[in-house]
C-alpha cells in the first residue's frame, strides 16, 4: 500500500502510542519507512510542547523522530498568521513560549498587551493561561485584530480526567467578542499542508485514528487518508461517518502499510472486497462475509458510501450478515 505514496503524515496518540506505551508494531513500521524511501512526519495539535520535546518522547518509545519531523499547531498557526497579516505586523500571543517563538520566526513582532494595539492575536494552549490573558485577547480582537487559533481541541486528557483544552478557552473569547478565529490545527487543512511542505512530499498519506480530526483534516487538505484501528474510531463509526470524514483506506495497524490493499469492485449494486460482498437496499446493508473480517467492512463502507455519496443519512443502516457462499468442490 505504501508504494503509492512518497511520505506519511502520522498522528501520535492512538497511532504511535496509547497512554505511556507504544502500540504493538507501530515503531517498527515507522522505522521501516526510511528503508522504503518514504518520508515521515508527525502532526499534532499540541502547541505547548516544542518539536524537540515531542521527538524526544517518541524516541523514548522507540520511534524514529527528530525535531524536524514534528509539526505542531504552533508552527502551523504562526505560518497561517504570517500569510494573513503584513510582514512585521505586531501580534499578541496568548499561549506558550513555543508559540511566541514560532510567531517571531515568521518575522512578526510579539507585543505583551492589547494596549499596544496589535494587528493580530494568536491563541494556543498553555496551562499558565488565566482570565487576564483571555481578557487581553478579547480587548484586541474587539478592537479589530486578526485572530488565529492554533487548534480547537475542547478537552485535554490528564491523569485525573479531561481538562479544558484550547478549544474551550477559544470558546470563552468567542463568546465575549462575538467573533470566530481562523484555525490552523486539525481538522483544518493548514497543519497538514505545513507538514507536507516542510517535508517536501508530493503524494503524502495521512494516517490517523480519529475521523473528526485526522481524517477530516487530511481530506480537507486533498490528501489520501488512512484510518488505523488502534485508537478512537472503528469500522462501525467509519461506516456512518459524514461524507467529509470518510477515509480513503481502513487498516488494522501501521503494519498493514506494507501489505497490498485489497481492491473494492462494483457490479450491479454489489461491492466486493477479497471475497466479501455488500449490497444496500433502502436502509438495509447486507454483507455476505464474516463479521470479524475487515474486508467485509471495507465492502460494506464502499456500498453504503456509494448509496449515500452526497449526504450521510441520520439513521444508521440495519446491518445483516449472511454466511459466505462456497462453491462446491
User: What residues are annotated to the active site?
Assistant: 11, 13
Dihedral angle computed from the Cα positions of residues 11, 12, 14 and 15, in that order, rounded to the nearest 10 degrees: 60
Measured between alpha carbons, how far is 108 from 86 in angstroms, rounded to an integer? 9
Distant-in-sequence, close-in-space partners of 136: CB < 8 Å, separation ≥ 6: 92, 94, 113, 114
3-state helix, strand, coil in the chain (%, to 5): 35, 25, 40
Q: Count CB-CB contacts under 10 A for residue 319.
A: 16
- Which residue stretches of 235-293 are H helix? 235-239
CB distance 114 to 142 below 8 Å: no
Comparing CA positions, the residue from 305, 181, 32, 149 lying closest to residue 10 is: 32
Q: Specify whether the CB–CB gap between 172 and 145 falls below 8 A.
A: no
- At 233, phi and psi to the nearest 5? -90, 165
Question: In whole angstroms, what is the distance from residue 126 CA to residue 110 CA?
Answer: 17
Q: Is 193 exposed, middle or buried (0-12, 13-18, 19+ CB in 10 A)?
A: buried
Give phi and psi for 106, each to the nearest 5. Answer: -90, 5
Nearest in space to 122 (alpha carbons), one of 155, 94, 87, 159? 94
Give dist(CA 125, CA 156) in Å, integer. 10
- C-alpha cell recorded at residue 24: 504493538
CB atoms within 10 A of CB 117: 13
Q: For 308, which DSSP code?
A: T
Amino acid at each position: 500500500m505504501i508504494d503509492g505514496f512518497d511520505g506519511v503524515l502520522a498522528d501520535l496518540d492512538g497511532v504511535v502510542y496509547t497512554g505511556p506505551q507504544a502500540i504493538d508494531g507501530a515503531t517498527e513500521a515507522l522505522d521501516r519507512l526510511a528503508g522504503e524511501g518514504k518520508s515521515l512526519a508527525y502532526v499534532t495539535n499540541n502547541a505547548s510542547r516544542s518539536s524537540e520535546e515531542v521527538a524526544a518522547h517518541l524516541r523514548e518509545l522507540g520511534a524514529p523522530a527528530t525535531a524536524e519531523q514534528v509539526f505542531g499547531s504552533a508552527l502551523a498557526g504562526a505560518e497561517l498568521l504570517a500569510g494573513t497579516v503584513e510582514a512585521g505586523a505586531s501580534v499578541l500571543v496568548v499561549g506558550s513560549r513555543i508559540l511566541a517563538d514560532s510567531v517571531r520566526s515568521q518575522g512578526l513582532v510579539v507585543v505583551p498587551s492589547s494596549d499596544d494595539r496589535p494587528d493580530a492575536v494568536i491563541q494556543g494552549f498553555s496551562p499558565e493561561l488565566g482570565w487576564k490573558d483571555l481578557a487581553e485577547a478579547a480587548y484586541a480582537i474587539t478592537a479589530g485584530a486578526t485572530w488565529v487559533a492554533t487548534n480547537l481541541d475542547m478537552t485535554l486528557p490528564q491523569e485525573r480526567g479531561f481538562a479544558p483544552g484550547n478549544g474551550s478557552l477559544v470558546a470563552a473569547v468567542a463568546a465575549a467578542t462575538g467573533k470566530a478565529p481562523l484555525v490552523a490545527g486539525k481538522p483544518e487543512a493548514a497543519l497538514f499542508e505545513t507538514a507536507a511542505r516542510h517535508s517536501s512530499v508530493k503524494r503524502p498519506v495521512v494516517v490517523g485514528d480519529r475521523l473528526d480530526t485526522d481524517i477530516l483534516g487530511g481530506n480537507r487538505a486533498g490528501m489520501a487518508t488512512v484510518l488505523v484501528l488502534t485508537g478512537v474510531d472503528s469500522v462501525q463509526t467509519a461506516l456512518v461517518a459524514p461524507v467529509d470524514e470518510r477515509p480513503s483506506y481502513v487498516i488494522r495497524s501501521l503494519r498493514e502499510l506494507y501489505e497490498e490493499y485489497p481492491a473494492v469492485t462494483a457490479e450491479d449494486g454489489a461491492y466486493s472486497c477479497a471475497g466479501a460482498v455488500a449490497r444496500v437496499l433502502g436502509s438495509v446493508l447486507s454483507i455476505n462475509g464474516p463479521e470479524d473480517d475487515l474486508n467485509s467492512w471495507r465492502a460494506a463502507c464502499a456500498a453504503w458510501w456509494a448509496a449515500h455519496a452526497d449526504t450521510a443519512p441520520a439513521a444508521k443502516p440495519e446491518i445483516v450478515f449472511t454466511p459466505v457462499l462456497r462453491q462446491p468442490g
